[in-house]
Amino acid sequence: MNWTVSERSFEPGRITTNGNKYMTGNGYMGFRGVLEEFGKEQLTAVTLAGVYDRAGDKWREPVNAPNGMFTVVSCDGKVLSVLETEPLAHLQSLELRAAVHRRETVFSIRDGGQVTLTAERFVSMDQLHVLAGKWTIHSTVDCRIEIETGIDGEVWDINGPHLFEQRNQLKEGVLLATAVTGELQLPVAVAEQADFAFAEQRIHGEGALRTVSFDAKAGETYEWYKYVAVFTGLDMEGEPAVQAVRTVRAAAEAGYAELLAAHCRKWEERWLSSDVVIEGDDDAQFALRYSIYQLLIIAPTLSEKVSIPARGLSGQVYKGAVFWDTEMFMLPFFLHSDPGIARNLMMYRIHTLDGARRKAAEYGYLGAFYAWESQDSGDDACTLFNVNDVFTGRPMRTYFRDKQVHISADVVHGIWQYIQFTGDDSMLADGGAEVIWECARFLYSYAYYNPVKKRYEILDVTGPDEYHERINNNAFTNALVQETLEIALRTAGLLQDKYPAVYAELAGQFAHGPFLAEFTDMLEHFYVPQPDPETLVIEQFDRYLKLEEVALAELKSRVINKHEYWGGGNGLATTTRILKQADVVLMLNLFKGKFSKEVKQANWEFYEPRTEHGSSLSPCIYALVAADIGLPDWGYPYFMRTATVDLTGESKQYVGDLYIGGTHPAANGGAWMAAVLGFAGLQFDGITAVMNPALPKAWKAVELPVVLRGDSFRLQISREEITVTAAPDNSEAVAFAGFGGEPELCGPGIQLRLRAQGKAQEAELQISSEMQGRFTQKS
Ligand code: BGC
């Protein structure tokens, strides 16, 4: 089975998309898929998770560290760079299993000779501050080779500069580049060490670069290594520079092979707990695996103070900000495969509660209004004028920041998902309850009590479909607000039972209300738009059906400038029923138990033709609901579109004149959701794992690992049969139900078979040694 993404030519026009497609990373840093000779013009970036800086009055954005992998090779004075010379042959590849990036480029030199350069590198999953690389040079004729390698301090910034007091030093063979960020004065240090067995090194460029010159013999291969360590003031109390030098020395001491082996072992563990095998469809398999890869390279393993930005660690696009994308599109993958990371993601929201409180207060509301675009402090990085009008060049007022109040409900949804799914309710005592109640208080203060209709409504909001701003009673938003109120009340019961001291303290804090009595009243009189009795369609918001009915193709033909924004005051879609992304249908997916198949199908059929899928968050939702109503082949193209978004690079690159390219973690998570929660039909409510598969035509079976309440299982799901295999060292039995049958308990070391025909059949089998090997060892 193919685990490698590759291409066999160099296309200058693909430099930017390949930077995303060939990304490597480890959650601490992301390294764009650039070639070693690239600089900032080619968008080279070592993006640091959770480190932000503001330059002047420009947008705050993540900080890119100097590039310690920078290397340029010359032969007889001629630079061997794809940017300067068209190569005779070129291969760029990314091996997903071990997360190793490779290139092999052949250049022609004088007298018909050829030089082949190879470079291999990885961002260590074992030592999160370390990058390592291995190079080879081979020439068919004798020639003079010069290698210039070191740390490139000229970093790519969208709204920089962010690094000040940049300094290069040489510390006994180690190159050290240090700087401090402008706003927070955080020190950043990059140390580099190179290992050349065959020639002397000369340091120059004021300590930033080293040069190695030698006479290469025809037919010989010359190999060398590089080690890089990156630290910032966020990682420690002391001096990051000292730690960077120490770490890079230790890395060089250990050597490339040992570092690579440790890195590969970590990746093996990651895949063991997350790989989804699709039998019968190689294209889908590859795309899904690639999507999972993209999620694994950005998962915050080290810290609960960083979450995942909407463009992952692929640069500074979207300000490196965390959106609702994390809770709604990525969290499920981590919940099922690595609950520790899911916990980190939700703890990030708890740590940023004060920022959310400040935002609520700024707008005159109570409680916590989470940032639409959240960074380190939780203050909103989203601007009021997010897009420039392409016709006038003037900033357009957008209301993402002020009116997407569903974000606070999304955060509550995420925390509750975590607690229900894992059974780890300690998060409530660790700040989760406070977040839930503050969000409920915010939404209570935002709600409007309609005295005529005697009900609470949510007015003046923007739902997921951003093309229709400031609308009333968005079905999605109202359904989530209702859920927040329910969760707020359930939290009270849970806390009183299990954490009475925490309950007492928080109840005291909110004694002046609004609190439980107000939440109860609001819930009892709350309006959530319902399906029309005749058409079964749920109106997306009040008066949506009064908008112009126009076909998507017709609307597209009205476009004057391909980058024009379809929403906002004068947007093409604003006055029509065309929506940017799944909205009502997303609601139907989140609350699938509450709606009939007929309602889901009616809304799918109504809204899909009216959906532009202008956000990469959209198609996966149509795949999920199609699978849910037993029509997986309707959903399949939407799944494929989602799963291939970062492979093809076919996504919106501009809104107005704003560059929004990069990787798409929400789509990556959406692809996983469509395959596992959609087609394989898995649903776990914290007690019973229910599987109602609806596999697309070509799929014979899906096999995946899951962690349910801390115990590991492997699921093999086909149309006829589901096999559940419990790890031998599981702590308790979990209930599984398949094909609409009764739940069956599956205890440690047991294999359970559920059949589609007739009553589910239970069988206790000895687990084969091969299957035993497919569980991650518990530490
Ligand atoms: C979508 C939002 C999303 C954001 C970041 C926008 O285009 O409309 O729903 O949160 O991108 O991915």
Q: Mind listing the pLDDT tens digit for each residue in 438-468?
A: 999 999 999 999 999 999 999 999 999 999 9
Taking CA atoms only, the protein residue closest to ligand 1 atom 11 is 615
Q: Is 466 a catalytic residue?
A: yes
Q: What residues in the chain have per-residue pLDDT under 50? A: 759-766, 778-779
The reply to whether ligand 1 has any atom less than 6 angstroms from the CB of 544 is: no
Residue owning tokens 């024009």:
564
Q: Please state the pTM of the whole predicted model.
A: 0.96
Atom of ligand 1 nearest to the CA of 324: 10
What's the gap in Å between 563 CA and the centre of ligand 1? 16
Fold assignment, 690-778: Maltose phosphorylase, domain 3 (2.60.420)
The reply to whether ligand 1 has any atom less than 6 angstroms from the CB of 466 is: yes
| Cβ-based neighbours of 613, under 8 Å, separated by 6 or more | 581, 619, 641
Q: What secondary structure letter does DSSP report for 286?
A: H
Residue 102's alpha-carbon distances to 7, 65, 68, 426, in angstroms, are 11, 21, 17, 44
Residue owning tokens 């640091």:
48
Measured torsion, CA atoms of residues 28, 30, 35, 40, in degrees rounded to the nearest 10: -110
Q: What secondary structure letter does DSSP report for 125?
A: S
Give the integer Cα–Cα distance in Å for 285 and 266: 22
In 656-761, which ranges are E strands?
658-659, 682-684, 688-691, 701-708, 711-718, 721-726, 734-738, 744-746, 751-755
- Distance in Å from the first CA to the final CA of the chain: 30
Structure tokens at 447: 């709600």
The reply to whether ligand 1 has any atom less than 6 angstroms from the CB of 617 is: yes
The reply to whether ligand 1 has any atom less than 6 angstroms from the CB of 317 is: no
Structure tokens at 262: 């440790």
Specify which residues 30 forms β-bridges with: 25, 47
Q: Classify the C-alpha dihedral 503-504-510-514 as positive or negative.
A: positive
Give the integer Cα–Cα distance in Å for 255 and 647: 33
pLDDT for residue 502? 98
466, 539, 564, 612: the catalytic one is 466
Fold assignment, 287-679: Glycosyltransferase (1.50.10)
What's the gap in Å between 401 CA and the centre of ligand 1? 12
Atom of ligand 1 nearest to the CA of 664: 12
The reply to whether ligand 1 has any atom less than 6 angstroms from the CB of 327 is: no
pLDDT for residue 776? 53
What's the gap in Å between 616 CA and the centre of ligand 1? 8
Structure tokens at 738: 């398949």
Taking CA atoms only, the protein residue closest to ligand 1 atom 5 is 310
pLDDT for residue 764? 45
One-letter-per-residue 3-state SS of 71-117: EEEEECCEEECCCCCCCCEEEEEEECCCCEEEEEEEEECHHHCEEEE
Q: Which of 317, 406, 617, 620 to mutate to test the pocket of ligand 1 (most atoms within 8 A of CB)?
A: 617
Structure tokens at 582: 């799944």
Residue 495's alpha-carbon distances to 437, 484, 514, 587, 770, in angstroms, are 12, 16, 18, 28, 44
pLDDT for residue 1? 74
Residues 214 and 202 sit within 8 Å (Cβ to Cβ): no
| Bridging pattern class, strands 78-80 and 71-75 | antiparallel
Give the integer Cα–Cα distance in Å for 324 and 373: 9
The reply to whether ligand 1 has any atom less than 6 angstroms from the CB of 462 is: no
Q: What does the domain layout of the chain look like in residue ranges?
A: 4-272, 287-679, 690-778
Q: Which of 466, 474, 611, 654 to mutate to test the pocket of ligand 1 (most atoms within 8 A of CB)?
A: 466
One-letter-per-residue 3-state SS of 211-224: EEEEEECCCCEEEE
| Cβ-based neighbours of 203, under 8 Å, separated by 6 or more | 170, 175, 209, 210, 211
pLDDT digits (tens, 9 = 90+) for 239-277: 999 999 999 999 999 999 999 999 999 999 999 999 999
Give the integer Cα–Cα distance in Å for 160 and 492: 46
Give the integer Cα–Cα distance in Å for 358 and 366: 10
Phi then psi for 482, rounded to 5 degrees?
Answer: -60, -45
In words, the CATH class of domain 4-272 is mainly beta
Give the integer Cα–Cα distance in Å for 52 and 60: 6
The reply to whether ligand 1 has any atom less than 6 angstroms from the CB of 222 is: no
What's the gap in Å between 382 CA and the centre of ligand 1? 12
What's the gap in Å between 148 CA and the centre of ligand 1? 41
Q: In what order do the strands lie in the sheet with 701-708?
A: 277-279, 701-708, 711-718, 721-726, 751-755
The reply to whether ligand 1 has any atom less than 6 angstroms from the CB of 666 is: yes
